[in-house]
Amino acid sequence: MSHEEFSEQDWRRFLRSLGEDPDRQGLLETPHRAAKAWKDWTAGYDMKPADVLKVFEDGAEEYNELIVVRNIPVYSHCEHHLAPFFGTASIGYTPKGHIVGLSKLTRLVECFARRLQVQERLTIQIANALMEHLQPRAVGVVIRCRHLCMESRGIRASGEETVTSALLGELQTNLALRTEFLNLVNTKG
């Protein structure tokens, strides 16, 4: 199901509502560029986790330790102000007979980040999707982001980072595994 696009006419109306002239030289192509940009920034509505995650049995038969991918770029937009928030995600899981292509974890982040979001929901959506489609022993997701709605307006708290986490399966009950995951995620370098 495709979401409805915010048309170039909508962007022209928006510019007029700001007191701008959409026919001014510097703004002539802005409605087209803005419509194209927002279509890309919200492409996650047309993505499904099941289509993104390619699961393999080969390679996981005897592997039962953590697999962690760190520093996955996160670019999203706050649903409250439509302002960008950005940072990184770290995702880890302990397989139970299946593994996922590592690049698919980045695609899974994009699937949910390229929607209007709050960071808390984004974190649990990624974790739940991985748990559902891969069915591992454990899943951990940690996201660190800066929010321009806080940095550029209101409190103007520049450089603050919001950290959210979702720990599912054995990461909830196994303290040693939880500690290992968080150490791997938080190690610099």
* pLDDT on residue 1: 41
Give the mean model confidence (pLDDT) for residues 25-42. 95
SS3 27: helix
Tens digits of residue pLDDT in 59-79:
777 888 999 999 999 999 999
Q: Which residues are catalytic?
A: 78-81, 119, 147, 149
109 contacts 91 by C-beta, under 8 angstroms:
yes
Query: Beta-strand (E) ranges in 53-179?
Result: 55-56, 67-78, 84-94, 99-100, 116-117, 138-147, 162-169
More confident residue, 118 or 98: 118
Q: What burial class does residue 189 get, using C-beta atoms within 10 Å of its C-beta: 0-12 exposed, 13-18 middle, 19+ buried? A: exposed
Range of the domain at 93: 47-186
Structure confidence at residue 54 as a pLDDT band (50, 70, 90): confident
| Residues 180, 105 share a domain | yes
| Residues 172, 137 share a domain | yes
CA distance linking residue 158 with residue 146, whole number of Å: 8
| Residues 113, 53 share a domain | yes
| Residues 33, 110 share a domain | no
85 contacts 145 by C-beta, under 8 angstroms:
yes
CA distance linking residue 107 with residue 128, whole number of Å: 15
| Residues 63, 156 share a domain | yes
* pLDDT on residue 57: 79
pLDDT exceeds cutoff 50 at 144? yes
| Residues 136, 83 share a domain | yes
Give the mean model confidence (pLDDT) for residues 152-166. 89
Question: Is 170 part of any domain?
Answer: yes
Strand arrangement of the beta sheet that strand 67-78 belongs to: 116-117, 67-78, 84-94, 138-147, 162-169
49 contacts 88 by C-beta, under 8 angstroms:
no
pLDDT exceeds cutoff 60 at 151? yes
Q: What pTM value is reported for the model?
A: 0.93
* pLDDT on residue 3: 56
Structure confidence at residue 118 as a pLDDT band (50, 70, 90): very high
* pLDDT on residue 107: 97
Question: Is 164 part of any domain?
Answer: yes
Give the mean model confidence (pLDDT) for residues 145-151. 92
Question: Is 1 part of any domain?
Answer: no
pLDDT exceeds cutoff 90 at 125? yes
| Residues 74, 134 share a domain | yes
Question: Is 3 part of any domain?
Answer: no
CATH of the domain at 164: 3.30.1130.10
| Residues 110, 51 share a domain | yes
C-alpha distances in Å from residue 187, one per residue of 45, 66, 71:
33, 15, 11
| Residues 127, 68 share a domain | yes
Question: Is 171 part of any domain?
Answer: yes
* pLDDT on residue 58: 73
